[in-house]
Amino acid sequence: MSEKNVKVTYNKLDVKEFPIGTTLKQISKNFINNYDYDILVAKVDNDISELSDIVTKNCEVNFYDRSSYTGYSAYTAGATFMMIIAVKRLFGDSTEVIVQHSIDKGVFCSIEGVEHDEEIVSDIEHEMHKIAREDHLFKKVSVSRVDAIKYFKKKNRMDKVNVLKYISNTYINLYKLDDVYDYFYTKMPYSTRQINDFKLTLIDERGFVLSWPTMLNPECTLDYNHHPYIFEAFQECGELGNKLDVCNAADLNRVVSYAQIDELIRLSEANYNRQLFDITNEIYENRKKIKLILLAGPSSSGKTTSAKRIKTYLESRGIRVIQLSTDDYFVNKADTPRNEKGEYDFESLKCVDLELFNKQLMELMDGKKVKIPTYNFLTGLREYNKRYAQLGEDDIIIVEGIHALNETLTMSIDRKNKYKIYISPLVQINIDNHSHIHTSDLRKLRRIIRDSRTRGFGASATLAMWGSIQRGEQLNIYPYQDDVNAVINSSLIYEIGVLKTYVEPLLFCVNEDDPVYPEALRLINFLRNILPIPSDNVPPDSVLREFIGGSCFEK
């Protein structure tokens, strides 16, 4: 090997030599036939890198297109930046775009001072396609934090100024596109030509949704499917943030810096309690008709605490609540279905003995005394341990579980007798106007902390199985989120700062050679934008206690 060459090992198998200083973009051309879509980013010795970066030593590389989580993150960041540029071209450089929250297969956005209509949305989409055809490079620029603050202050981008104020880094990376500099904490693709598939959909005068291909459907951008309950829950949370003047990370950091966090904790908890009160009040008013409460949501949404709180509220009004777990109706382990890998698929609806579950539901509805099973996870067998239940005239059953919203689970009960609740932490607080916090990231942090505390899992184990968790949610939860009576938003405006104090040490324990290290590092970089918040004043009945510990419901 020439001293001026480096050895590049692709995917641990294919070894090639390249001159020192060769860009990852040039190297990727040798492996492009291994991918169905444009290569967007690379992994070099387990560190995610942009294709504009160069190699200076022997290394291992891999590449990612939009069908992978790493590539998908770059694709969505690039599309968002292009949308921002399109708006500035159409309405002027001072026009501000706010990326508010995730929804369906994209993000909901709004333009300050603009009443949105079909023509405006069409013009933005057309301009984005023009930017894609122009094939601009996403240029990364390393600048001092002080210089970045000066630049954004000059542009009147105070959301960026205030965020950077709380970052301790001497230097930060900005991205330049079409002479506009912006701050993102995710990697960018190589050029705008690679971001050529997206759609914009007008919601109403409040804004539009920017959609893109997903990992489950990378071939193309599917039509936007509006979820009115979820959307309005997001909007309600955003309105609360506006009233409290806490809309992004800088606002939250300001509250922490000025020692005002205790008041914010009380207000956030009161908002969560208000949602539960409204739901239980509606159930109480319709108690003669409603006999079955069904609660479901994606992983780490706070289902257990919310179900117990609803039970407590109803019982305080004289209604006895019988709580059933679908886990206790699991078929014996030997009869558990397996997935395509031959592993037990514990998230399949076929894990539940539907015949027995519905038979006992009907018997309870008829007022009969029923012997309830208990599933022994150690032996993998269903057991009967003298556990009985009987439903009185005004009593209610509550079922919490992954399949609770699926009509097949409770097919023996008429829909009019059910009250369905979808729960998720629909986080509305963002890093700044252009970088939103993904709901899945918040749930991921919650799950890492709880797995460490209750199961002894490291962050590595939780991150490794997150893809499987999300696939299960796509199949078993999201298809049923619109057939509900109510939505609980379990996010708390202050919680990201509390989660940081617990999760950051766990993320730092992920080894640099671990396959999930890049994701752990991404989360660490994301959390650098948030100041830590102590958990001392988090109430014992808070949904957050389900994850960090100290819940009164665990006693």
pLDDT digits (tens, 9 = 90+) for 307-362: 999 999 999 999 999 999 888 999 998 888 888 778 888 788 999 999 999 999 99
Indicate the pTM of the whole model. 0.91
| Among 209, 523, 96, 44, CA closest to 52 | 44
410 has pLDDT over 70? yes
pLDDT of residue 57: 94
Distance CA 417, CA 423 (A): 20
**Residues 277-300: tens digit of each pLDDT:** 999 999 999 998 999 999 999 999
Q: What Å distances lie between residue 157 and 88, 135, 164, 252, CA to CA?
A: 13, 26, 11, 17
Distance CA 193, CA 212 (A): 14
Beta strands 396-400 and 321-325, pairing class: parallel
User: In this structure, are residues 69 and 178 in contact, taking their beta carbons and an 8 Å threshold?
Assistant: no
Question: Could you count the other beta carbons within 10 Å of the beta carbon of residue 4?
Answer: 9
2 has pLDDT over 60? no
Task: Quote the tokens at residue 493.
Answer: 């405006």
Kindly state the average pLDDT of the residues 534-550: 96
Q: What is the DSSP letter of 185?
A: S
**Residues 446-462: tens digit of each pLDDT:** 999 999 999 899 999 99
Task: Determine what percent of the chain is predicted with pLDDT higher than 90.
Answer: 84
Beta strands 207-211 and 199-204, pairing class: antiparallel
| Among 410, 385, 383, 381, CA closest to 398 | 410
Long-range CB contact pairs, 309-316, < 8 A, 24+: 309/276, 309/541, 310/276, 310/279, 310/280, 310/283, 310/398, 311/398, 313/276, 313/277, 313/280, 314/280, 314/283, 314/284, 314/396
1 has pLDDT over 80? no
CA angle, 83 then 86 then 87, to 5°: 90
248 has pLDDT over 80? yes
Distance CA 255, CA 533 (A): 10
**Residues 428-438: tens digit of each pLDDT:** 789 999 999 99
Distance CA 276, CA 292 (A): 16
Domains of the chain: 5-65 (3.10.20.30), 70-225 (3.30.980.10), 232-298+313-318+417-554 (no CATH)
**Residues 201-241: tens digit of each pLDDT:** 999 999 999 999 998 899 999 999 999 999 999 999 999 99
pLDDT of residue 555: 62
